[in-house]
Amino acid sequence: MSSTALFRTLKQSFGYDSFRPLQEEIITDALAGRDVFALLPTGGGKSLCFQLPALIREGLTVVVSPLIALMKDQVDALTASGVAATFINSTLGAAESKARLRGLFNGEYRMLYAAPERLMLDGTIEMLRQWNVAQFAIDEAHCISEWGHDFRPDYRQLAKLRDVFPGVPFMALTATATERVRGDIVKHLRLREPRTYVASFNRPNLAYRVVPKAKPYEQTLAFVRGRKRECGIIYCSSRKATESVAERLVADGIAARPYHAGLDDKVRARNQELFLRDEIHVICATIAFGMGINKPNVRFVLHYDLPKNVEGYYQVTGRAGRDGLPSECLLLYSSGDVVKQTAFIDEKPDPEEQRVAREQLQKMVHYAECAACRRAELLRYFGEEFGEPNCGGCDNCLEPRETFDGTLATQKFLSCVYRLRQASRFGVGLNHLVEVLTGGASEKVLKWGHDKVSTYGIGKEHTRAEWAALGREIIRLGYCRQSTEKFSTIELTDAGMEILRSRKAVTLTRPPAEPERGREDKRRVGDIACDEALFETLRQLRKEIADSRDVPAYIIFSDVSLRIMAREYPTTERALANITGVGTKKLDEFGAQFMDAIQKYLRENPRQVYADEIDRFNGPPPKKVAATTSRESWRMFAAGQSFAQIARARSLTEQTVVKHIADAIEAGESFDADAHFTAAEQQELNAAFDQLSDYALGPVKDALGDRYDYSRLHLFRAARRARKR
């Protein structure tokens, strides 16, 4: 299929003008019948990679999805876009299940969602033989690996489909997988010479912050109150904590509900439904909530407790900002959480499982306590280098922690490790080292005679909590190593011995002491500034339509679509069709209501015309101008006059003239891009727009710097849009 046809289907069915990174290549390989492995970050558009091919080719695409509770929303979203999709699972009644199976036998559907345990039943496989299966798409494919953070044995059975359907291509997709997990996915699904696509793990619209856990509920309440009307997920380590936090939030006026496996099925499903439909703003959940959740406007993820590993943390934080808008990830951290997690690990019956879990926990602690860029730390965990000295989107980059000369502290710590090993001929753990350094009198210190060693009590200038944090940093710096056995002990490394011998200077960081502060309203990556009053009006309309149809609001239009509407004021079908996320079916079904709402708003607010500061060239916001005056600007431009000349001649601002010209180009006026942009410039601009999208020029301008002014960016974007239609 030609690239033009792909873009046409993309726009008509999904309302997008361009693909996200790697999507077009993955879709092209899928349509060619190849096996594909795709690792794309949450929010990176994994679903489109199998949804769009399903619309183009003949046959049924079978999507394996691990959580049946989410299938309805996934199918509802596809149906709203005009895609014939269905699901089969245990939530359906007998009559409804029979009707869907009848539709599948009649070839009425392009896509079928099913959980692996349902799919692998003998009866289902026999029916699949008769349904002209064109592709199997295995979503959340990391569940197949026992090294992944969410291993599910049922996924291992999926390889049997290769024997039953030897000619059907497989597509395996995940947002989280280390090199080892990727190998497991390819091996256990028996992928045949798969085309492999690994996108960057970087989520530039997410801001990462770790704060000391002091009064966790009070910190949480302050954080949530600072984000009114925004949806978020609070993750707790226990079921009891989810209920307790939710109850306290409700008592303090926050619309919140708990979610965990111990709740009654109907209560749990109802709470999830309330959250998906924006009836409540906060869900307090255990880690099981949200895998594959399709709610794009989660604005924050708050970890009330320390996660078990970095993979799980990355996966969960990825549930924020799926629509690309700025979102926040906050972790409340205390060393007490490390003790709790260690206790859970000790309960595991398999020593090898314990060892792996301790190693993973150590890496999570390293992330929580590090003073370096958190984004770079996350990417490094997955084998990717960030390449920038400052990400501008984490606490360590925005507010660098104070450093101090830690040479003496490091020498004291290392000396204590050395002396205790010398005295007892066995290693001790971090807590015991801290006891000795601070002059503690625990039973073990006295029993082993460690109150007699020369390093006993030499570190009283620091608290136990401070020594624990400093000790972990000294381990991270490579001066000690920590074993991953049940009784985790600390030993000196060669680098540590060198510090003791040479007295080389060591710089350490002070652990942060401030509680979570109020939010700073700074523009961040992915932000779409707009007319906030109109955005609220459109958001309310969206909710009314969604409620009347008994679907979540985001299925009607995403926040991104609404914010662009509140930026562009589309009052015609042509203008509304240019908005990201407005496809043919949604334009037909909802276009009139949204255009009426925008027209009414403009009548009631005649001077309320949005102009973004970063997109404003000079002068006040432009007035709305009639189509005839817009055509006059185009006529003068086509005759060779510059923006400045046209603006002077017509008593308009240059910004208004540029908008006239851009609108004319998008409307179909002939524009020779080669006369205004060199081949190299076109290549650079296309790459920037492909990566950052074209719904806002600010991020593109920031990325390209001063090489292009906003007038040229406006023209090039208009030419791109016109070319894709």
Asked whether residue 488 falls in the same domain as residue 576, the answer is no
Asked whether residue 390 falls in the same domain as residue 417, the answer is no
pLDDT exceeds 90 at position 341: no
For tokens 């204590």, what's the residue?
Answer: 416
Does the residue 685 lie in any domain? Answer: yes
465 in Cβ contact with 365 (< 8 Å): no
Query: What ranges make up the beta strands (E) of 213-326?
Result: 231-235, 256-259, 282-285, 298-303
Asked whether residue 378 falls in the same domain as residue 419, the answer is no
- What is the helix (H) or strand (E) element at residue 134, kind and residue range? strand 133-138
490 in Cβ contact with 428 (< 8 Å): yes
pLDDT exceeds 80 at position 338: yes
Asked whether residue 70 falls in the same domain as residue 183, the answer is yes
Asked whether residue 27 falls in the same domain as residue 146, the answer is yes
Does the residue 523 lie in any domain? Answer: no
CB neighbour list of residue 482: distance below 8 Å, 6 or more residues apart: 362, 430, 475, 488, 489, 490
704-724 pLDDT tens trace: 877 888 889 889 988 988 886
Nearest to 368 by CA among 434, 310, 440, 443: 310
pLDDT value of residue 6: 85
Range scoring the smallest mean pLDDT among 74-78, 99-103, 404-408: 74-78
668 in Cβ contact with 578 (< 8 Å): no
614 in Cβ contact with 701 (< 8 Å): yes
Rounded mean pLDDT, 22-44: 90
- Taking every pair of Cα atoms in the chain, the longest distance, rounded to a whole number of angstroms, is 95
pLDDT value of residue 128: 95
Sign of CA dihedral 668, 671, 672, 673: negative
Vertex 322: Cα angle to 321 and 324 (nearest 5): 70
693 in Cβ contact with 324 (< 8 Å): yes
Strand partners, 36: 171, 195
128-187 pLDDT tens trace: 999 999 999 999 898 888 765 567 788 888 999 999 999 999 999 988 777 888 899 999
Does the residue 415 lie in any domain? Answer: yes
Nearest to 719 by CA among 664, 646, 680: 664
Asked whether residue 679 falls in the same domain as residue 620, the answer is yes
CB atoms within 10 A of CB 615: 19
Give the total number of structural domains in the chain. Answer: 5
Q: What are phi and psi of 307, to 5 degrees?
A: -65, 165
Nearest to 140 by CA among 40, 199, 66, 45: 66
Where among 509, 541, 569 does a domain terminate? 509
CATH code where residue 322 lies? 3.40.50.300
Asked whether residue 189 falls in the same domain as residue 263, the answer is no
Range scoring the smallest mean pLDDT among 202-206, 216-220, 477-481, 697-701: 697-701
pLDDT exceeds 70 at position 520: no
Rounded mean pLDDT, 375-397: 87
> How far apart, in whole angstroms, are the C-alpha atoms of residue 319 and residue 291?
8
Q: Which domain holds residue 543?
A: 532-604
Does the residue 518 lie in any domain? Answer: no
Q: What are phi and psi of 87, to 5 degrees?
A: -140, 155
> How far apart, in whole angstroms, are the C-alpha atoms of residue 228 and residue 253?
11
Nearest to 345 by CA among 315, 300, 308: 308
Asked whether residue 587 falls in the same domain as residue 683, the answer is no
Range scoring the smallest mean pLDDT among 334-343, 598-607, 688-697: 688-697
Rounded mean pLDDT, 47-75: 88
Does the residue 526 lie in any domain? Answer: no
Asked whether residue 39 falls in the same domain as residue 114, the answer is yes
For tokens 């009330």, what's the residue?
Answer: 304
> Residue 309 corresponds to which tokens in the numbers above?
């590993």
pLDDT band at 383 (very low <50, low <70, confident <90, very high): confident
CB neighbour list of residue 213: distance below 8 Å, 6 or more residues apart: 219, 332, 333, 334, 336, 337
Asked whether residue 230 falls in the same domain as residue 95, the answer is no
pLDDT band at 626 (very low <50, low <70, confident <90, very high): very low
pLDDT exceeds 50 at position 206: yes
pLDDT exceeds 50 at position 617: no
CATH code where residue 640 lies? 1.10.10
Does the residue 515 lie in any domain? Answer: no
Q: How high does pLDDT run on average in the chain? A: 85
Percent of the chain with pLDDT over 70: 90
For tokens 């979540």, what's the residue?
Answer: 552
pLDDT band at 478 (very low <50, low <70, confident <90, very high): confident
pLDDT exceeds 60 at position 627: no
Q: What does pTM read for this prediction?
A: 0.68
Does the residue 276 lie in any domain? Answer: yes
Asked whether residue 379 falls in the same domain as residue 439, the answer is no
Asked whether residue 287 falls in the same domain as residue 378, the answer is yes
C-beta contacts of 588-594 below 8 A and 24+ residues apart: 589/80, 590/545, 590/556, 590/557, 593/541, 593/545, 594/538, 594/541, 594/557, 594/565
CATH code where residue 566 lies? 1.10.150.80
- What is the helix (H) or strand (E) element at residue 509, kind and residue range? strand 507-509
Does the residue 514 lie in any domain? Answer: no
CB neighbour list of residue 561: distance below 8 Å, 6 or more residues apart: 15, 579, 580, 581, 582
pLDDT exceeds 80 at position 56: yes
> Residue 678 corresponds to which tokens in the numbers above?
């060199």
pLDDT value of residue 210: 94
